[in-house]
Every structure is written in C-alpha cells, then in structure tokens.
C-alpha cells in the first residue's frame, strides 16, 4: 500500500514538473539580421573579402601574363631559360595558393572576431528574456532541428528584439 502511494506521488510530481516546464524558440538568424551591429560587422568582413579577392585576381593576372609570354616565346627559348620561366610560373602559382589559404584563414578569424561581440549581445539578450520568462530550453529554429512548435512554446524573437531596442 505504501509503495503504491509513493509511486502515485512520484507520478503526480513528475506530471506537475513536466507541465511546469516552459520552452521557447527563436530564429537567431532573423534576430542577427535585425541588429544594426550585424550590418556593420558584415560590411567589415565583406571589405576584407573584397581586398583579398582583388589581390588574388592581381596575382592570377600576373601568372596568366607569364604563361602567355612563356607559350608565345617557348620555341625561341633555350632549355635553361624554359626551365627558369617554368619554375618562376610554378613559384607564382604556389604563392597564389598559399596566399589564398592564408587569406581564407584570416577572413575566418576576422569574421569571428568582428561577429563575436554581435553574437554575444544577441545571446545575452536571449538568455535574459529566457530567464525572465522562466524558460528551461530555447530552440533556435534557424538550425532547422524542430519540426513542430507548439503554441505553448514562447516565440522569443519579438521579446528579444524589444530587449535590444529593435523594431
């Protein structure tokens, strides 16, 4: 009899606990796009990307000119000069490859450095609203994981935007 009573209390307690849990959801990508800081951070990253792209294009034009010059004069060159020119072209191609890799890495690092504070600000606002509303989980719909969102799940986007002073 006592075991049944304890089991019944445990079941009721679990049901009450499960019912009291609150969930929220947000589309973090939409929040970030609404933040003016995101636009300026994105512009800095794009400016850096454009700089690297122009330099890569400049090096590629230089390589193309050397290849064109080599192929047009190849028949009149001695073997020694052919080797030197081919080696020079290979070195330029390696330089381009190394520069491209370094540029990509730097672009990633700079992007994280510039976007980090924006994402931190968004995360802090999400955390604050979640705590205010007593939520235990907040799902980001940007990642596409939840396939169903109940009416009982709190859409945090308008609340977080308001917290950040966004429209």
Confidence of residue 63 (pLDDT cuts 50, 70, 90): very high
pLDDT tens digits, one per residue of 109-155: 999 999 999 999 999 999 999 999 899 888 888 877 666 666 778 88
Q: Which two tokens stand for residue 164?
A: 């950040």
- The whole domain housing 38 covers 23-163
Q: Is residue 136 part of a domain?
A: yes
Does residue 121 sit within a domain? yes
Asked if residue 8 belongs to a domain, the reply is no
Report yes or no on 7 lying in a domain: no
**Residue 116 is part of a domain; what is its CATH number?**
3.30.910
- Name the domain count of the chain: 1
Question: From CA 35, how far away is CA 166, in angstroms rounded?
Answer: 7
Residue 67 lies in a domain: yes
113 domain residue, yes or no? yes
3-state secondary structure the chain: CHHHHHHHHHHHHHHHHHHHCCEEEECHHHHHHHCHHHHHHHHHHHHHHHHHHHHHHHHHHHHHHHHHHHHHHHHHCCHHHHHHHHHHHHHHHHHHHHHHHHHHHHHHHHHHHHHHHHHHHHHHHHHHHHHHCCCCEEEEHHHCCCCCCCCCCEECHHHHHHHCCCC
103 located within any domain:
yes
Average of per-residue pLDDT across 56-78: 93
Does the residue 36 lie in any domain? yes
pLDDT digits 0-9 by tens, 12-58: 544 444 445 688 889 899 999 999 999 999 999 999 999 999 999 99
Nearest alpha-carbon partner for 155 in 145, 141, 134: 141
Q: What do you get for the CA distance between the two ends of the chain, in Å?
A: 59
What's the pLDDT at 11?
Answer: 54
């Amino acid at each position: 009899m006592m075991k049944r009573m304890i089991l019944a209390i445990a079941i009721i307690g679990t049901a009450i606990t499960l019912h009291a849990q609150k969930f929220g959801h947000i589309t973090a990508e939409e929040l970030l796009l609404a933040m003016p800081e995101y636009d300026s951070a994105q512009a800095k990253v794009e400016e850096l990307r454009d700089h690297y792209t122009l330099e890569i294009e400049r090096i590629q034009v230089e390589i193309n000119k050397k290849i064109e010059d080599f192929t047009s004069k190849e028949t009149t060159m001695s073997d020694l000069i052919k080797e030197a020119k081919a080696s020079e072209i290979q070195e330029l191609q390696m330089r381009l490859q190394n520069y491209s890799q370094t540029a990509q890495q730097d672009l990633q690092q700079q992007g994280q450095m510039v976007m980090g504070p924006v994402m931190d600000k968004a995360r802090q606002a999400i955390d604050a609203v979640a705590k205010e509303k007593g939520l235990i989980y907040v799902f980001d719909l940007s990642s596409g994981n939840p396939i169903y969102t109940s009416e009982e799940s709190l859409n945090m986007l308008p609340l977080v935007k308001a917290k950040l002073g966004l429209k």
